[in-house]
Amino acid sequence: MAEPASLDLYEVDQRFELLVNSVVDYALYMLDTDGRIATWNAGARRFKGYEAEEIIGQHFSRFFTEEDRSSGLPARALRIAAEEGKFETEGWRVRKDGTRFWASVVIDPVRNTDGKLVGFAKITRDITAKRDAEQALFETEQKFRMLVQGVRDYAIYMLDENGLITNWNTGAATIKGYSADEIVGQHFSRFYTPEDRARGEPQRALETALKHGKYENEAWRVRKDGTRFWASVLIDPIYDDDGRFVGFAKVTRDMTDRRLAQQALEEARAALAQSQKLQALGELTGGIAHDFNNLMTVIRGSADLLRRGGLSEEKSARYLDAIIETSERAATLTSHLLAFSRRQALKPQVMDVNIRLDAIGEVLSRTLDSHIEVVLDLDPDLWPAEVDPAELETALLNAAFNARDAMPQGGRLTLSTANSPSDEGDSICITVADTGEGMNEEVLSRVFEPFFTTKPVGKGTGLGLSQIHGFAAQSGGRAEISSRLGEGTAVRIILPRSGKAPATARLGDASPRLQSGLKVLLVEDNAHVLAFAEQLLGELECRVTAVDSAERALSLVEQNRDYDLLFSDVVMPGMSGVELALAVRKKMADLPVVLATGYSDEVIDGAGAQFEILRKPYDSQSLGSAMLAALERVDQAPAAARQ
């Protein structure tokens, strides 16, 4: 096989010359030992501006600036290259047209096979754009550094991956009291209180920042001198251009003055609220005293006349009716007060509110003045609501009677319903609107206060709207009112939507009656009420065991479980009626229970939901109905629930 023909030296030189001349991004040329230009490539021509015939034979120092030539830099560059084997630098160079460019320069000595210096190889590259970019970046970084260092109201600094401080601005020194020399390299947890460090708060802050991309909080921090300040803190993780986590940026602001001002404002608001509460309490006390004194005057006067004797049967009946009627008014007044304070023992049931409003509308059409038009605007697709029917009716009647009084010359009263969907929970809205006199802003701001009224003395208790407000709130909703002088008023009762179906009324031929001889355990701590309740139970033909404390009643149950029903007051010294009922149920799961209360937080909070609640004051009819309901409730309970 024939060997490949070898290239002669001429061909090699030709190819090398082609290679060098094809490079346009670098100036590649030769210098003789004195620094005169011997060769010139296309790259040198492109960014230095000289043609080969113009520059070959010229000294390479002409590319240097006047300042560099004066300092002897061209000769020094050749000497260093010859002595050290290379000269490398960056600096300004000059084009043919006199413009300057920033050059990267490498000069290598060229020696023959005997090691004799025969010239120099020079490579130059125009890196002006790169230098400008680096200079711009440097200037930007300097400006950013000046910006960060110039901020005195914020502590701005960096942490490494482990929480060690890597830099420190002027604001950090001002707020925290440490100089950069004192704190750089220390762990940032030293600014935390001992309590926070013990709970691991510093580490949790870094973990939260990494996990969620940010940690933000307000808390106490500690200065160098040991004093505390209220800080707003923000920690962000920092990543480099390749997405690698490199540390944290931390920004802290001293919020102590703002927090102290906010606390002072809250204290002032609390003081104002307390003052308003005392004023309202004074008005409430005065209102209660006025109304109850009127009621007690009627009751006491009638009782005094009955006590004298010798009255005709007609007069005796009149005075007894006055006592009963006035007692009922007193009970209604108490009920309104309890509704306002949200302490009413409600008996909610799922109902179609439209049916109730339709009935109330018919009643109002007959009872209100003939020159007041009653209009119903009911949503046919209204959602059900779970409320106490009696209290709802009272609230609607209170609103309607207020509307009547606001329209002495006549007008229109509109009862309307509507669904109110919301992301926070669906509700229904009942509106009682009139076309009456309306109210100004000052009156409107106080209408829900108890005993506040603009009516003449003796024309109203001032409890109507407060009852509406309390009833709505206790039912899980709210009451709203809007009004403008001369344009009327609208009262809105907003109640939560119920997911249950409305209860259906049960039809019967006659009201059920208690069976004779029921064994009732009666518990009441008030001696007068105990005697009264015992007499009522006697009239209902019950066999009564009466005790004055829950503890004694529980002891009797433990000794003898032969009772048909437990009837107890709720509020008593020591063990309450609810606690007694729960304890008895553990021993006698199927024992019917009736709890009597004027108000009780235990009943309101739902602890008495499994028992029948009887409102005070009560009579034989309401007591008998409650006992029947309790007996029926136990009969209808699943057998498993009574085990």
Integer Cα distance of 332 and 464 in angstroms: 11
Look up residue 315 and give its two tokens: 């007069």
Integer Cα distance of 178 and 546 in angstroms: 78
Identify the H or E element spanning 615: strand 612-615
Helix, strand, coil content of the chain in percent (nearest 5): 45, 25, 30
Tell me the mean pLDDT in the region 306-330: 77
Lowest mean pLDDT among 228-232, 331-335, 379-383: 331-335
In this predicted structure, the answer to whether residue 16 has a pLDDT above a threshold of 70 is no
Most distant pair of Cα atoms in the chain: their distance:
160
Contact, 564 vs 518, CB < 8 A?
yes
Say if residue 285 is exposed, middle or buried (CB neighbours under 10 Å; 0-12, 13-18, 19+). exposed
Q: Over the stretch 360-392, which tens digit does the pLDDT of each residue have?
A: 887 788 777 778 899 999 999 999 998 888 788
Say if residue 622 is exposed, middle or buried (CB neighbours under 10 Å; 0-12, 13-18, 19+). middle
Strands 427-434, 478-484: parallel, antiparallel or unpaired by DSSP? unpaired
Contact, 633 vs 612, CB < 8 A?
yes
Look up residue 256 and give its two tokens: 């102590």
Look up residue 302 and give its two tokens: 């009638």
In the structure, what pLDDT confidence band is assigned to residue 279 with cuts at 50, 70 and 90? Answer: low
Q: Over the stretch 612-637, which tens digit does the pLDDT of each residue have?
A: 888 777 888 889 988 998 898 887 66
Integer Cα distance of 79 and 468 in angstroms: 104
For residue 628, give the nearest of 592, 580, 577, 589 by alpha carbon. Answer: 592
Task: From the options 2.60.120, 1.20.120, 3.40.50, 1.10.287, give the CATH code of 267-338.
Answer: 1.10.287
In this predicted structure, the answer to whether residue 46 has a pLDDT above a threshold of 90 is no
Look up residue 498 and give its two tokens: 């119920």
Query: Residue 572 in 3-state DSSP?
Result: coil
The architecture (CATH level 2) of 519-642 comes to 3-Layer(aba) Sandwich (3.40)
Integer Cα distance of 383 and 420 in angstroms: 9
**Residues 6+ away with beta carbon under 8 Å from 19:** none
In this predicted structure, the answer to whether residue 218 has a pLDDT above a threshold of 50 is yes
> What are the residue boundaries of the structural domains of the chain, listed by start?
9-127, 151-254, 267-338, 349-496, 519-642
In this predicted structure, the answer to whether residue 336 has a pLDDT above a threshold of 80 is no
Tell me the mean pLDDT in the region 565-591: 90
Query: Residue 573 in 3-state DSSP?
Result: coil
Say if residue 551 is exposed, middle or buried (CB neighbours under 10 Å; 0-12, 13-18, 19+). middle
Specify whether domain 9-127 bears CATH 3.30.450.20. Answer: yes
Return the CATH number of the domain spanning residue range 151-254: 3.30.450.20
Q: Torsion angle of alpha carbons 379, 380, 385, 388, nearest 10°?
A: 90
In this predicted structure, the answer to whether residue 503 has a pLDDT above a threshold of 80 is no
Query: Residue 153 in 3-state DSSP?
Result: coil
- 470 against 428, higher pLDDT: 428
- Which letter does DSSP use for residue 382 in this model? P
In the structure, what pLDDT confidence band is assigned to residue 5 with cuts at 50, 70 and 90? Answer: very low
Q: Torsion angle of alpha carbons 47, 48, 49, 50, nearest 10°?
A: -140
Alpha helices of 309-388 — where are they, by DSSP H? 313-340, 353-367
Please indicate whether the domains covering 9-127 and 267-338 agree at the CATH topology level: no
CATH fold, domain 349-496, is Heat Shock Protein 90 (3.30.565)
Lowest mean pLDDT among 61-75, 198-212, 291-305: 291-305
Identify the H or E element spanning 222: strand 215-222
In this predicted structure, the answer to whether residue 470 has a pLDDT above a threshold of 60 is yes
